Structure formats: C-alpha cells, structure tokens
Amino acid sequence: MRRNTHPQPLPCVDPIPSYAAAKQKGAAVQNNPHTTLITPDAPVATITHGGRAKCLQRLVRLDMPVPRTVALSFETVQAIADGHVPDIERILEQFDPTVLLCVRPSSEDPDWGGPGAVLNVGMNDARYVDLSDKMGADAAAALYLRFVQTYALHVARLDPDVFDDLLEDGQQGLSDTLRAYEEETDEPFPQDPGEQLAAVLQSMARAWDGTTARLLRQAKGAPADAGLGLVVQQMIPGLGRGECGSGVMQLVDPTTGQPQITGRYLSQSQGRDALGAGTGALYLARDERGPSLEDVAPEAYAELQQHAKLMRHKLREEMQVEFVIENGHAHILDGVRVPRSSRAAVQIAVRLAEDGIIPPQEALMRVDPHALNELLHRQVHPDAERDVLTTGIAASPGAATGQIVFTAAEAQASAARGEPCILVRRETSPEDVRGMHAAAAVLTEKGGMTSHAAVIGRGLGLPCIVGASGLRFVTKKRQLMAQDGRVFQTGDVLTIDGTSGQVLAGQPQMLEAALDDSFQTLMTWAEAECDIGIRANADTPADAQTAQNFNVQGIGLCRTEHMFFEPGRLTVMREMIFAQTPKGRAAVMERLLPIQRKDFVQLFRIMGGKPVCIRLFDPPLHEFLPTNRTGQRELAEALDLPVSDVERRVAAMSEYNPMLGLRGVRLGVTVPEIYDMQARAIFEATLEASQEGEPVVPEVMIPLVSACREVELVKTRIDAVAASVASEQGRDFDYRLGVMVETPRACLRADEIAPHCAFLSFGTNDLTQMTYGLSRDDAGRFMSAYVNQGVFSEDPFHVLDTDGVGELLQLGVQRGRESRPGITLSVCGEHGGNPESIAFCRAAGFDYVSCSPFRVPVARLAAAQLAISHQVGADP
C-alpha cells in the first residue's frame, strides 16, 4: 500500500480504533456531552467551541437561514485526537438521514487557521444513485468524486499522484477514482456515513495536533494549548428548477478594504450540469465575465446583501457570507471575518468606527501593530529603471534592497551590523525563520504561494519572491547566476520586488508606502491615546522627513557619525585621524564644521521646532580607515604620505575589542576636537534655524558614558563652546545636555550622572551587548542555536530582555529620577520600536521611546493599545 509521502500536517501517531471496528465489536463509544446542536440558547462559547461555532449561533439568533449544525467542543475534539471514538450516533441523529454533511474547523480565533473543511460526508453508492435521479448523474458523480478525493488525501492519506492519471470527470472519473482508492488501500471506499464521519473527525482533530500546524498558529499568536472545535453541518444540495449554486459575498474589497460588493458565485443551474466545472460561474460584480447573481436571482442577491449588512452591524465586523442558493432562495452556511490584507484591516477598522459600529478605541485594538509593517513597506518607484534578472512568484508584497546572503546565520550577522540583506535560499525551512526575521527580503529558488518562505514571509510582512527558477542558485559557491551570464555573490546588491515578483540587480529608486486617509485617521486616534512619547531615530534629512510624515514628537537619536561616511567628508575625517597634534586636528575639523552645521540646520528645519537629540561621535576612529591595500594606497595618495605611514597608522589604531575600546565619550575625553567641532556646528545651526521660526532647543547627547567624570569633562567643554558661540553671535540660546546610558555601570551610577544632565537616553543595543557580554556583530552565529535550545527565549537584540537588561533599566530609571526628579528618560535602542519591549518601557516609566522612522506607526499603535488596555484593565 502506498501512503502519502509528501510532508503532511498530520502527526505520525498509532492508528486509533475506527468507528466501524468499534461499532462491530460493540465497544462503548465515547458519549461526550460536548456535542451540541446549535440553537439560540445552546451553551456554545468561543472559548469552548471556537469562533465559527459561536458565530453560527449568532447567525441563528439573528434568524438567518442557517442549516442545522452541531458543534463539537475543544475538549471533545482533543479526546478524538487522543484516540477516543466520538459518539457518532448522537451526532447523526441530529440530522435527516438523507442529507450530506460537512465538517469545518472552529478554532478560538479564526486567524489561527485549522484543517480544511471536508464536504459531502455521507456520500456513498446508494446516495449517488438517489442524487443521480434528482440532479443528474454527472452532477451527482462530481459530488461523490470530490468527497472521495478529499477523503483519500486527507483521511486515508494517500499520495496525490495516485489520482494523477485519472483525467476523466463525471461518472467515468468517479468509478476510476473509487477503483484507485480500493487498489491503494486494499479496502473499498467506506460506505457507512458514520464510519466516514468518524474518520473525518479523527483526521481533522489530529491535523490540529501536528507540529507544523501548531508552529504556524503559534506564529499568529495562538497559545501552545489552543483548542480546536469542529462543526458538523447539514449540506444544502442545491436541487431544484430555480437558480442553484454556492458562493461567498462580502461588502468590502479584501485587498483594499474599500466598500464594494465582492465575492464569487458558482452556478449549478446556468446550463451546466457539473458543479465545480468552473465554466457556468456567475460573478457578483457586474464588471466580471457573465451575468451577475443579481441578474439571475435578484431576490436571493438582495437577501444576501441584507444578511451581510446585518452581520456587519450585529457582529460588529466586516463579514464574508458563505451561502448556497437553492431554487432562488439563499441559505447562509457561515459567516467568517473577511480575510484581509493589512491595508484593508486598517480601512475596515476605521470605517466601522466612523460608522459608529465600534468605538475608535476598539478600532485601534483591532489592528495588529506588527501588521502595519506591510502597509508601510516601500515599493519600487513606478518610473525607476528596472534591471530585471528574473521574475518569480510574488509571494509577499513590498520591495527591499540589500546585500545577498546565503544562510540564516549570515542574515542575522548582517542585521546585527545594521546592514539590510536579502536572504537567498533554495527553499526555506523552520530553521531559517530567525534568518528571515533578520533579512530585508527573501528570495527562494523553489516553492509556491503556500510554501514555507511565502507563508512566513507574508506573516512577517517581508518582501518575498519564491520559485525564482530563472536564476541558478549555486549555494555551495554562494552564487546566483542570471540567464544573461551575470554572477552575483555574497555582498552583491539586489532588490526584491515582492509585489511584482521581479528580482532586480542593484538599487532602483524606491517609492515610500502610500499611507491613505484611514491610516492617518488611525494614527491620529492612536496618538490621542498614547501615554508614552514616540520619537524617531533619524540620521539624515530623508529619515527626518519620513519621521515627520509620521508626525513624530521629535528625533530621539541622530547618529552623527553616519554623516562622516559620505563622499567628500571621509577623506577629511581621515586627514583628522592622521593629524599629529590637537592643533592640527582642530584645523582639519574646521573644514568639517560648515558641512556639519548644514546637516543640523536641515534637520532642525525639517523638524520645525520639535526636539532633535544629536548624539556626539560614537564609533572607533579606525572604522574610517581603509582595511585593504588598495584603499590604503589611495589614502596615501590623497594625504600625500608614504603608504607605509598609512599602514603603520592603521596598525597602531587597531584594537582587540573595538566595541569596548576607544569610542564614544572616550574619544570626547581624549580627542576633544571632534566634540568641540560638533558642538559648535550644533549651536551655530541652532541660531541659524531659530531665525526662521520657533527657537530651536537642541539636545546634545554623550554616548557610551560609564563614569560621572566623563560627563563633567565633556560638559565643561560643551558649555564653553556654547558660551563662545553665543558671545560671537551676540544671541543667547538654550540647549539640553544628556547622557546615553548604554553601559551597565552608567545604569548603576545613574544617580551620580543624572544631576549633570537634562535627560538620560538608554541605548539598549549596547546595553544588551554589555549586559550579556555578547557581541552585537557576532551573536548571529549562534543565536538560532541558543533560541532553538531555549537558552534565550528570544534574540535579546530583537526583543528586550526584561529580566536582565530590564533590571538594569529599572535601576537606571529609579536612581536617575531619585537624584534628579523631572529628568527626561527614554529608550533609543532598536527595542524602542518593538511592541513587546514598549510594554516594558511604558511600565518602567520612560517618557518616550525612539525607533527607526518606519517603526514609528507600529510603536505608536502598540503604545496606544497598551494605554487603552490599561484603562480597561486588560492586556492587549
């Protein structure tokens, strides 16, 4: 016997006694009280029977024409999965013995999914004969065939290719399929409806227990012990002379969320005798092919619309109505929350609130902050030149550019360095999920819309292309070969356009996400609810503009060193590094002053008077020096020095532990000319930008402090620069000096440091690195192993470690506030944009969090949800 060899969601478990065997032996079938006929008053609840069962009861209460339905509780289904034979007689006695049944999953939250529905349970040779008389042999054969195929694949778990050669439909197809089933299983297709139903229930119950199913639903937020309910419903055969068919209808477009009747309808009556043949389809929307349902069954169409509107109002949700038309009359099989894109989720929530169906606070609670990422993704600009290497399957929308990497570990290392990367894999597996989290986009050679990479990519809102077989993936050599002969290797830059499926060479111009009115409305409501500030980490005018577009409260971190990497500045920076004396360094810095001043004026102007927190120079100087011989030779040329001098200097500056070496405030103390220049640039820019509007009050932040004396030394110089700029220009100005708390010692000594400054901003990236003694740049190598083995529950660079790093933060907050009440406290590490970490920051009493501009809406919504939950006394 050949069993299904494809990966299946079903777990491998011992066979359980079949219903037939149990019946034959007279074994006691489990008489479970959790099998409930759905009536208006039946004890059915979402937490015991799942969302679908509860929803069906609501529809019954609304007097909708819902076919008879029995609900099986989570407990019952778990018992079935554990090997107990369900009380089939008790279920069957609720139905007319002539009807067919369908079984559907009913998990607590419909988004957690569940096994696919099984239709036409009860179909057998006798009913086939009976239905052939009523609906024609081919139509009856189609029903039977569909059931046998579903049963064979999902219940008997036969290999799908058993049926590959059976091309015929209709009666011939049916008898071929029944024969193939018997050959494969050595048993005839089960004829007893009770036996069929028992086997279907068992297979669905066990599918829910499978590892893949569990991982997928946990990724959607389901708890590990989430239960599955099942509903068994009478099927409406759609027999009669009038219009018959089935379909779904909703009042919105699930992609855009715009109000528009959409759906599909498959007619059985329009001159077609085979249900499911796909040809006689009638479309609901008039701009599709063929007549509309409204044309062929106007009354049923109007009824359906009424039902959909009533559901929207009474169930307070945009619902998809699953229906059957029989003889021109509508039956409602189910109402499910309209599946929706993230964009549509925002539209729908906002419109429900605007229509007074739900309050704005509830609209806010209904949008998953993580899902906003999808809305916020950039696209390739429509006018951009596209160097298309191949087109694969567009599996997850949005576009991203990055350096290609070929393993998940490389992706994590790349993310730890802050470099966007494209994860290139033949196909992905669960081991790659951490790497996918870290990547800007994913590209796979194999797979389709429901392959691992596609499902996970969409879940993460990560641009993703799968099935890009037009490229040769030579992963051993870490190469991608295009059909035109071009070869791309690790580090080369590609762009993934997950919206069109195109893989592009290089970095085309991008278009920022279009954020519509509903998004803006949602953000306005969120802003009104937030009780923690949200700022952006923005280093460039472009970043600042993006941040302003999201109406941030200010810039919480401007990493000024990024400004020095720009062409033209780098050489000056290098000259400064090579200068022998403080005087020489100051002279070179003079040349950088106007450039920096211009940078800051731009930032101040864009932010229009909102606070801008500028961090003084942070990285070790050798990051600015070339590492290879060619670069060193070029530098020697530019500085008119012998190459050996350059080599010597580079060697002299190298450090064993650069992240713990001469960087941050340590440079400020030992090479003060850099901070002097930066402070002057900030203050001169302050006066320049203040001429045009609100006076600018810049925030100057000292990085990597570990001792109070460091602050005193730097503060003295900065105050002196401020005084001299004010006297030179004859104008006064205010500024706020702050300390970046990112070493454990600074947290512990916050009481000593706080009196010297107006604010403390906690840099949780370095703080995490130093608390764990874990290199930000190297952790990717073993992070997956650590998380997989449960050493860390999450990557602490991604989600704040509230236990260890969190305790240091709490100490810092407490000690800082005690010694300087009223001091501003914030978090500006990556964690500032992570919804889970924001919950901690809010509870710890931080005034604001600062995160990358595109995470601002996510952070704001998360913060709003926390505030709302706090008001109503529940977790979000």
Q: Which is nearer to ligand PEP, 268 or 764 (CB)?
A: 764
User: Which residue stretch of 100-108, 147-155, 340-348, 759-767 sits at the interface with Mg ion (rule: CB under 5 A)?
Assistant: 759-767
Which residue sits closest to ligand PEP, CB atoms considered? 763
Is 370 catalytic? The answer is: no
Compute the C-alpha angle 826/832/837, nearest 5°: 105
Asked if residue 829 binds ligand PEP (CB under 6 A), the reply is yes
Query: Helices 673-690 and 582-607 sit at what angle, rounded to 10 degrees?
Result: 30
Q: Which is nearer to ligand PEP, 589 or 740 (CB)?
A: 740
Q: Which residue in the list 747, 828, 841, 851 is annotated as catalytic?
A: 828
Name the 3-class secondary structure at 131: helix
Assign 3-state DSSP to the chain and report helix, strand, coil percentages, each to 5.
45, 15, 35
Contacts of 254 (CB under 8 A, 6+ apart): 262, 338, 339, 340, 341, 344
Give residues 166-185 in contact with ligand PEP (rule: CB under 6 A).
none
User: Which residue stretch of 88-96, 410-418, 760-768, 786-794 sits at the interface with Mg ion (rule: CB under 5 A)?
Assistant: 760-768
Give residues 790-819 in contact with ligand PEP (rule: CB under 6 A).
none
Asked if residue 763 binds Mg ion (CB under 5 A), the reply is yes
Q: How far apart are the first and last CA of the chain?
A: 51
Q: Which is nearer to ligand PEP, 74 or 848 (CB)?
A: 848
Residue 456: which of ligand PEP, Mg ion, none does it interact with, CB under 5 to 8 A by kind?
none
Q: Which residue in the list 452, 622, 756, 798 is annotated as catalytic?
A: 452
Nearest approach, Cβ of 701 to ligand PEP (angstroms)?
10
DSSP 831: G
Name beta bridge partners: 481. 472, 487
Asked if residue 322 binds Mg ion (CB under 5 A), the reply is no
Q: Which is nearer to ligand PEP, 288 or 794 (CB)?
A: 794
Asked if residue 398 binds Mg ion (CB under 5 A), the reply is no
Name beta bridge partners: 424. 443
Query: Helices 569-578 and 582-607 sit at what angle, rounded to 10 degrees?
Result: 150
CA 691 from chain center: how many Å? Answer: 44
Q: Which is nearer to ligand PEP, 387 or 623 (CB)?
A: 623
Binding mask 705-744 for Mg ion (x = CB under 5 A): -------------------------------------x--
Residue 198: which of Mg ion, ligand PEP, none does it interact with, CB under 5 to 8 A by kind?
none
Residue 828: which of ligand PEP, Mg ion, none does it interact with, CB under 5 to 8 A by kind?
ligand PEP
Nearest approach, Cβ of 793 to ligand PEP (angstroms)?
20
Give residues 602-621 in contact with ligand PEP (rule: CB under 6 A).
618
Give residues 553-582 in contact with ligand PEP (rule: CB under 6 A).
557, 559
If binding means CB under 6 A, how many residues of this protein chain bind ligand PEP? 10
If binding means CB under 5 A, how many residues of this protein chain bind Mg ion? 3
Contacts of 38 (CB under 8 A, 6+ apart): 44, 53, 56, 57, 60, 66, 69, 70, 71, 231
CA distance 176 to 178: 6
> Which residue blocks in 730-845 are alpha helix, DSSP H?
744-748, 750-753, 764-772, 780-788, 804-819, 835-844
Q: By CB under 6 A, name the one of 766, 771, 841, 855 that touches ligand PEP.
A: 766
Asked if residue 763 binds ligand PEP (CB under 6 A), the reply is yes
Q: Per the structure block, which two tokens stand in for 858?
A: 């996510």
Residue 370: which of Mg ion, ligand PEP, none does it interact with, CB under 5 to 8 A by kind?
none
Compute the C-alpha angle 95/99/100, nearest 5°: 110
Asked if residue 859 binds ligand PEP (CB under 6 A), the reply is no
User: Which residue stretch of 471-479, 677-685, 758-766, 803-811 sits at the interface with ligand PEP (rule: CB under 6 A)?
Assistant: 758-766
Nearest approach, Cβ of 854 to Mg ion (angstroms)?
20
Is 452 catalytic? The answer is: yes
The dihedral of CA 336, 337, 339, 344: what is its sign? positive
CA distance 20 to 740: 71
Q: Which is nearer to ligand PEP, 334 or 742 (CB)?
A: 742
Which residue sits closest to Mg ion, CB atoms considered? 766
Q: Which amino acid is at 853?
A: P
Instruction: Please state the three-class secondary structure of 153-197 as a single string.
Output: HHHCCECHHHHCCCCCCHHHHHHHHHHHHHHHHCCCCCCCHHHHH
Task: State the residue for tokens 């005193």.
Answer: 712
Nearest approach, Cβ of 783 to ligand PEP (angstroms)?
17
Q: Per the structure block, which two tokens stand in for 501?
A: 């499926």
Asked if residue 124 binds ligand PEP (CB under 6 A), the reply is no
Compute the C-alpha angle 547/549/554, nearest 5°: 40
C-alpha distances in Å from residue 16, one per residue of 193, 199, 292: 18, 10, 48
Q: Which is nearer to ligand PEP, 334 or 618 (CB)?
A: 618
Task: State the residue for tokens 């998953």.
Answer: 368
Binding mask 721-750 for ligand PEP (x = CB under 6 A): ---------------------x--------
Asked if residue 764 binds ligand PEP (CB under 6 A), the reply is yes
Question: 10 Å Cβ neighbour count for 355?
Answer: 11
Asked if residue 335 binds Mg ion (CB under 5 A), the reply is no
User: Which residue stretch of 23-31, 400-408, 545-553, 759-767 sits at the interface with ligand PEP (rule: CB under 6 A)?
Assistant: 759-767
Q: Would you say 853 and 552 are in contact if contact means Cβ atoms under 8 Å apart?
A: yes
Residue 606: which of ligand PEP, Mg ion, none does it interact with, CB under 5 to 8 A by kind?
none
Nearest approach, Cβ of 763 to ligand PEP (angstroms)?
3
Query: Helices 541-549 and 582-607 sit at what angle, rounded to 10 degrees?
Result: 30
Site residues (CB under 6 A) for ligand PEP?
A: 557, 559, 618, 742, 763-766, 828-829
Site residues (CB under 5 A) for Mg ion?
A: 742, 763, 766
- The residues carrying an active-site annotation are 452, 828
